[in-house]
Amino acid sequence: MVEIIVHHSHPALTILHERYSKKLLGYFIKMLQNDQEKAQDFVQDIFLKIIEKKHLFDTDKKFYTWIFTIASNMCKSEYRKPFFQSISTDEYELQSKAVFSDDLSEKERFKQIYKASLAQLEMHHKTTFILRYMEKFSLNEIAEITETSVGTVKSRLFYATKKMAELLKEFDPRYENNLFKMN
Amino acid sequence: MDRELDKNSEKLFDLIESRNWNQLTLEEMQFVLLHMTEDEYHFQRQILVEADDIFDENLEAKPLLLPAKKVTPIFAISIPLYQTILAVAATVLVFLMLWPNNQEIERPVIRPVAQQKQEIKTNFVHDTVVKYITLTQIAERVVYDTITAVVQSNFKSEEPRLFQANNNLPILDLSPEKLEVRGSSLKDENTIGLLPKMVNTIY
């Protein structure tokens, strides 16, 4: 992998693309409010950034972590843009009502509200939550990606979960009993 | 309360993420109950588990499109402002240094306000003394020469020849009549008389 980065060539990049593009696409979709087109563009961009910033790659670290650090920073930059569409509380309530009025299965409704709730989280909470529970990174890896301590990561995860619980509490506990795996 | 929650957030996270409510010790349950109800604990834990299935992960990324190498045209290259300013300043400086200054400098006309009588006293200060000193030098030059060869000349007195002619030799008459040939024999030769007598005696 190190050789691929240091002596980058188009075939080597294609290998990297095959290996990581799907994971990155999933991450970008989650981070960018389910905007698939933008997520696709971000996947293209991140591989161009790898070519540009290959000298910044620390060979002692994991490539997988490094590429997600870049991805995370790209999302952070996108969030800072004034025209970035983050879901306001009102929009969230409208979406929730729309989901309930639609003829969707209970599970599908829950998914929609879950996504909307995730979009409501603050950037740093959302990043940490997605990396941990959807991308399955370890706490140390998340600390490396987000350039924070493990303690901060734990704290952020706790508050992100708490916020998600508040946003999803409208769900009738009866549905939860039917829906959730753990009951 | 919030400060207390901040302080304990890491510990609460560890419990929620790793254990079900019924797996907690009594002490841990009491700790959790200080911050949330049992239902809230249970619900938060469910949210974490459900996170896995929320997004559809079947999407594939588009093929990688790498741009061709761009050749930046020279007019499209951007340079910092300070470099531009420095370049302009340097050009102006060089221009001013090289360009001949043809403009006559207007000198201010000095008009005396009042005439002053000036008396110039000349004081000679001999700051330079020139002295000629004649030096006589006797130059001797010794030339050492080495004689490498001695030429000896030996003069010898001329030795007398064996047949030394005397001044008393008769002058022969070599008139054409005398030289006329009368026969083919040597005896008929008129010049026979010229030969020495010793030879004549042989014949």
Residues 125-154, chain B, touching A (beta carbon < 8 A): none
Cα dihedral B44, B45, B51, B53 sign: negative
Prediction ipTM score: 0.78
| Residue B91, both tokens | 């050009």
Task: Measure CB to CB from residue A161 to each of B44, B59, B62 and give the nearest one.
Answer: B44
Q: Which residues contact A49 (CB under 8 A, 6 or more apart)?
A: A70, A74
User: Cβ neighbours of residue B113 under 8 Å, at least 6 residues apart?
Assistant: none
Q: Does B17 sit within 8 Å of A14, measured CB to CB?
A: no
Is A43 in contact with B54 (Cβ distance < 8 A)? Answer: no
Q: What is the pLDDT along chain B (203 residues), one digit of tens a residue?
A: 577 777 888 999 999 999 999 999 999 999 999 999 898 999 999 899 888 888 877 778 888 877 666 666 666 777 788 888 999 999 999 988 887 666 655 666 666 566 566 777 877 777 776 777 777 777 777 777 776 665 666 666 677 676 666 677 667 677 777 777 667 777 777 677 666 665 555 54
Please tell me whether residue B8 adopts helix, strand or coil conformation: helix
Q: Cβ(B180)–Cβ(B190) under 8 Å?
A: yes
Cα B126 to the center of its chain, rounded Å: 51
**Band (A86; pLDDT cuts 50, 70, 90):** low
> Domains in chain A, start-ordered, CATH in brackets?
2-80 (1.10.1740.10), 89-179 (1.10.10.10)
B47 vs A176: CB contact, 8 Å cut-off? no
Mutation pick from A158, A170, A181 vs chain B, by most beta carbons of B within 10 Å, is A158
Crossing angle of helices B2-18/B26-33, nearest 10°? 140
Residue A10 in tokens: 């188009």
What distance in Å separates the CA atoms of residue B16 and residue A83, rounded to the nearest whole number?
36
Residue B99 sits at φ, ψ, to 5 deg, of -75, 125
d(CA B106, CA B98): 22
Instruction: Mutate one of A30, A50, A162, A178 to test the B interface: name it (highest B CB count within 10 A).
Output: A162
Distance CA B193, CA B172 (A): 9
Amino acid A24: pLDDT:
93
Q: Which residues of B touch A40 (CB under 8 A)?
A: 61-62
The Cα B2–Cα B9 span in angstroms is 10
Q: Are the beta carbons of A129 and B59 separated by less than 8 Å?
A: no
Tokens of A56: 């910044």
- How does DSSP assign B43-84, residue by residue? HHHHHHHHGGGSS-----PPPP-PPPPP---GGG----HHHH
Which residues neighbour A64 within 8 Å (Cβ) at sequence distance 6 or greater? Answer: A20
Cβ–Cβ contact A10 with B under 8 A: yes
For residue B13, which of B37, B48, B51 has the smallest C-alpha distance? B48
> What is the rounded CA–CA span in Å between residue A65 and residue A85?
27
Q: What's the CA gap between B34 and A152, in Å, rounded?
A: 21
Q: Give A100-158 pLDDT, tens digit per residue.
A: 556 667 788 888 889 989 988 999 999 999 999 999 999 999 999 999 999 999 999 99
The burial class, CB within 10 Å (0-12 / 13-18 / 19+), for B17 is middle
Pairwise CA distance, residues A35 & A54, whole Å: 28
A177 in B contact zone (CB under 8 Å): no
The better pLDDT of the pair A177, A161 is held by: A161
Dig out the tokens for A157 from the structure.
């995860």
Quick one: closest CA in A to B40, which residue?
A165
What's the gap in Å between the CA of A99 and the closest CA on chain B? Answer: 15
Most distant pair of Cα atoms in chain A: their distance: 57
Best of B3, B8, B9 to disrupt the A interface by mutation (most A CBs within 10 Å)? Answer: B9
- Measure CB to CB from residue A180 to each of B14, B50, B59 and give the nearest one: B50
Going from N- to C-terminal start, the domains of chain B cover 2-53
